[in-house]
């Protein structure tokens, strides 16, 4: 998949993007509203992509069953409406008109249009944003089934939403197009070197931003991530570069209640509010900060975390 | 471009259900019948009643219904989604138009019956009405394509109503201003000519000329509406 670069006001707004899409490996791109539109518009020019935009409406006066029947007929599928209704877990809403559904259910029903797409690649804009927990789970299940045969691309502005069903996630913003390291890797347990004792007395973490050196007290820090080799310290929704490696930081911050929850993340356990379970094998930590931040949690680290927290 | 009856029928059924439950719009089905009752009570005092009735009904029923059906889909972005399904442009247009056609034919037949009009030649009358319905459906499609919401669609019908239903009267002005002779070639004027033919004393030419003019209008507007449909949807 390739995108043309786009300029706005003489500045590079959308860099030249290239990535691979294969069935069974959903791709997520975290980006802002405007870049989302630009990406969608470029995709619309190719045949073979089914675009689901956030503005997609629905035939409000049909009942759910009539809508599914219509979609089956118009897309020439062989399935029966009754069995599909069961698959979609919509049996109870069978006779309800779309306009009488709850907002979350209405979006869920509208999203089902992607199920009927014949195109080999599906592109969804913010699929999970308007869904409640229950509908999210249902739709994730349907997307998982779909992604076995189809290429899937999810455009969202929310890391949490991308984490739900994407295996590969990129971040697209003013600084370019970069992959996020969210893979689970058990084999990557690095040997922990015993550091010198005096380090514990050093309390400040020094970071750099716009050529200024900024020092943080460890409790201020929300989490630390490693993006393409550089270390970003997140404090109150902002991020700052740090010259230390994650392993060094882990050593220093161990006594301040920090935890290496993932190969590329260290999280301040004081700020963890929730452990989110997506599937049996994928977890995230939601932080209790001003901005809704979510940090991935490796499966291998879950046990360690549980003993640490005495759960 | 292939046409699949199955897909067109699915669209027909879907639109029928949507339309019949949208009372704000489906109420227009009643108007021609109400008009027919009104004119019937006026009796023979109104010789041009049938022409007026049919021409108005064709605009407020046929064109308006079609324009609203298309505009509503555009408003909710479902038309774009339909284009991503195997349904072709013709499937969508045929599905929608056939619903409007059936509704118009039934309502017009009922109101003609109520008014008590007896055509000189039932064959020509039917042919003219069928062609006119197709013609006004195409006009409605064009209006729907140029409007983004249902509200806009119902307003965009006004020029059509003005030009088409007004044409037979405009032709009266032709005596003073020869420019208005053009209006005589409007399909609505021709329909009035056809309806005005008596039981006896008309030649084949009298029948054929209006029919051919209406046919020409039908072909042109249908082609224009299909081309516009394809082009407008690509632009969005």
Specify the range with the lowest mean pLDDT, choosing from A111-125, A242-256, B5-19, B161-175: B161-175
Same domain for A156 and A9: yes
Contacts of A70 in chain B (CB under 8 A): 10-11, 13-14
A188 within a domain of the structure (yes/no): no
Residue A70: closest C-alpha in chain B: B10
What angle (nearest 5°) sits at the alpha carbon of residue B61, between those of residues A65 and B166? 160
Chain A contacts to B (CB-CB under 8 A): 50-51, 53, 55-62, 66, 69-71, 73-76, 97, 113, 116-119
Residue B8: closest C-alpha in chain A: A74
pLDDT, residue B225, reads: 93
CB A231 within 8 A of CB A247: no
CA proximity to A263, closest of A294, A300, A288: A300
Quote the CA–CA distance of A61 and A96 in Å, as a whole number: 9
CA proximity to A123, closest of A68, A182, A166, A183: A166
Q: Do A56 and B81 touch (CB under 8 A)?
A: yes
Q: How many domains does chain A have?
A: 2
pLDDT in single tens digits along all 311 residues of chain A: 777 788 777 777 788 888 888 888 899 999 988 888 888 888 888 888 899 998 889 999 999 999 999 999 998 888 899 999 999 999 898 899 999 999 999 999 999 999 999 999 999 999 998 899 899 999 999 999 998 989 999 999 888 888 888 888 888 887 788 888 765 544 444 444 444 444 445 567 888 877 778 888 888 888 998 888 788 888 877 888 888 888 888 888 888 888 888 888 999 888 888 888 877 778 888 888 767 788 888 888 888 888 888 87
Name every residue whose Cβ is closer than 8 Å to that of residue A216 and which is 6 or more positions away in sequence: A204, A205, A207, A233, A235, A240
CA proximity to A185, closest of A112, A261, A251: A261
For residue B153, pLDDT over 60 is answered with: yes
Domain that holds residue B94: 5-235
Same domain for A227 and A136: no
Domain that holds residue A292: 197-308
Q: How many domains does chain B have?
A: 1
CATH of the domain at A221: 2.40.50.1020
A145 within a domain of the structure (yes/no): yes
Same domain for A233 and A120: no
Contacts of B9 in chain A (CB under 8 A): 73
- pLDDT-above-90 percentage for chain A: 25
Q: Do A61 and B21 touch (CB under 8 A)?
A: yes
A230 within a domain of the structure (yes/no): yes
pLDDT, residue B170, reads: 76
Note the ipTM here.
Answer: 0.86
Quote the CA–CA distance of B152 and A265 in Å, as a whole number: 54
- Please, which contacts does A234-242 make with residues 24 or more away whose CB atoms are closer than 8 Å? A234/A293, A236/A289, A236/A290, A236/A291, A237/A289, A237/A290, A237/A291, A237/A293, A240/A207, A240/A208, A240/A209, A240/A214, A240/A216, A241/A207, A241/A208, A241/A209, A242/A205, A242/A206, A242/A207, A242/A208
A62 → closest Cβ in B9, B18, B87: B18
B48 or B64: whose pLDDT is higher? B64
A149 within a domain of the structure (yes/no): yes
Sign of CA dihedral A176, A179, A181, A187: negative
Cα dihedral B129→B133→B135→B139 (10° resolution): 150
For residue B92, pLDDT over 60 is answered with: yes
Chain B contacts to A (CB-CB under 8 A): 4, 6-7, 9-11, 13-14, 17-18, 21-22, 75-78, 81-82, 84-87
CA proximity to B17, closest of B95, B93, B91: B95
A86 within a domain of the structure (yes/no): yes
Strand A27-30 versus strand A17-18 pairing type: unpaired
A192 within a domain of the structure (yes/no): no
Work out the pLDDT band at B19, boundaries 50, 70, 90.
Answer: very high
Same domain for A128 and A245: no
Burial class (CB within 10 angstroms; exposed 0-12, middle 13-18, buried 19+) of A211: exposed
Q: Is B63 left (phi over 0), alpha (psi -120 to 50) or beta?
A: alpha
Same domain for A162 and A90: yes
Same domain for A94 and A233: no
Specify the range with the lowest mean pLDDT, choosing from A190-204, B21-35, B218-232: A190-204
3-state secondary structure of A179: strand
Quote the CA–CA distance of B39 and A207 in Å, as a whole number: 87
Q: What residues form DSSP beta bridges with A22?
A: A25
CA proximity to A42, closest of A172, A227, A178: A172
Same domain for A298 and A165: no
A187 within a domain of the structure (yes/no): no
């Amino acid at each position: 998949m390739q995108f043309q670069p786009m300029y706005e006001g003489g500045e590079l707004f959308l860099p030249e993007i290239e990535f691979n899409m294969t069935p069974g490996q959903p791709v997520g791109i975290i980006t802002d509203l405007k870049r989302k539109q630009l990406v969608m518009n470029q995709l619309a020019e190719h045949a073979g992509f089914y675009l689901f935009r956030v503005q997609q409406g629905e035939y409000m006066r049909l009942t759910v069953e009539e809508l599914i029947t219509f979609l089956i007929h118009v897309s020439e599928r062989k399935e029966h409406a009754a069995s599909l209704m069961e698959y979609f877990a919509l049996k109870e809403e069978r006779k309800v008109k779309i306009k009488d559904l709850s907002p979350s259910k209405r979006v869920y029903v509208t999203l089902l249009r992607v199920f009927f797409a014949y195109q080999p690649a599906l592109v969804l804009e913010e699929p999970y944003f308007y869904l409640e927990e229950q509908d999210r789970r249902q739709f994730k299940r349907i997307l998982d089934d779909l992604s076995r045969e189809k290429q899937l691309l999810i455009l969202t502005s929310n890391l949490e939403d991308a984490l739900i069903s994407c295996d590969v996630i990129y971040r697209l913003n003013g600084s370019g197009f970069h992959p996020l390291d969210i893979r689970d890797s058990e084999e990557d347990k690095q040997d922990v070197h015993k550091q010198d004792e005096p380090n514990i007395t050093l309390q400040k973490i020094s970071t750099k931003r716009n050529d200024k050196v900024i020092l943080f007290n460890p409790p201020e820090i929300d989490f630390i991530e490693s993006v393409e080799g550089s270390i970003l310290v997140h404090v109150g929704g902002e991020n700052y570069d740090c010259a230390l490696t994650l392993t060094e930081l882990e050593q220093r911050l161990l006594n301040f209640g920090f935890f290496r929850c993932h190969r590329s993340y260290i999280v301040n356990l004081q700020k963890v509010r929730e452990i989110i379970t997506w599937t049996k094998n994928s977890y995230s930590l939601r932080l209790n900060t001003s901005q809704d931040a979510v940090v991935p949690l490796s499966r291998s680290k879950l046990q360690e975390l549980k003993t640490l927290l005495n759960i | 471009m292939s046409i699949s009856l199955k897909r067109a029928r699915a669209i027909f059924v879907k639109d029928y259900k949507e339309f019949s439950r949208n009372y704000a719009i489906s109420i227009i089905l009643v108007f021609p019948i109400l008009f027919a009752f009104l004119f019937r009570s006026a009796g023979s005092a109104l010789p041009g009643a049938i022409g007026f009735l049919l021409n108005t009904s064709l605009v407020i029923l046929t064109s308006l219904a079609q324009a609203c059906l298309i505009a509503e889909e555009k408003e909710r972005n479902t038309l774009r989604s339909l284009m991503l399904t195997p349904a072709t442009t013709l499937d969508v247009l045929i599905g929608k138009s056939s619903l409007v056609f059936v509704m118009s034919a039934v309502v017009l037949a009922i109101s003609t019956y109520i008014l008590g009009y007896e055509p000189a030649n039932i064959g020509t009358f039917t042919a003219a009405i069928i062609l006119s319905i197709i013609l006004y459906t195409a006009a409605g499609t064009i209006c729907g394509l140029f409007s983004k919401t249902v509200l806009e669609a119902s307003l965009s019908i006004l020029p059509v109503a003005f030009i088409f239903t007004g044409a037979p009267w405009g032709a009266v002005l032709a005596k003073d201003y020869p420019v208005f002779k053009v209006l005589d070639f409007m399909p609505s004027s021709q329909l009035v000519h056809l309806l005005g033919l008596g039981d006896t004393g008309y030649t084949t030419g009298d029948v054929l000329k209006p029919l051919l003019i209406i046919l020409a209008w039908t072909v042109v507007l249908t082609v224009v509406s299909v081309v516009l449909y394809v082009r407008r949807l690509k632009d969005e």
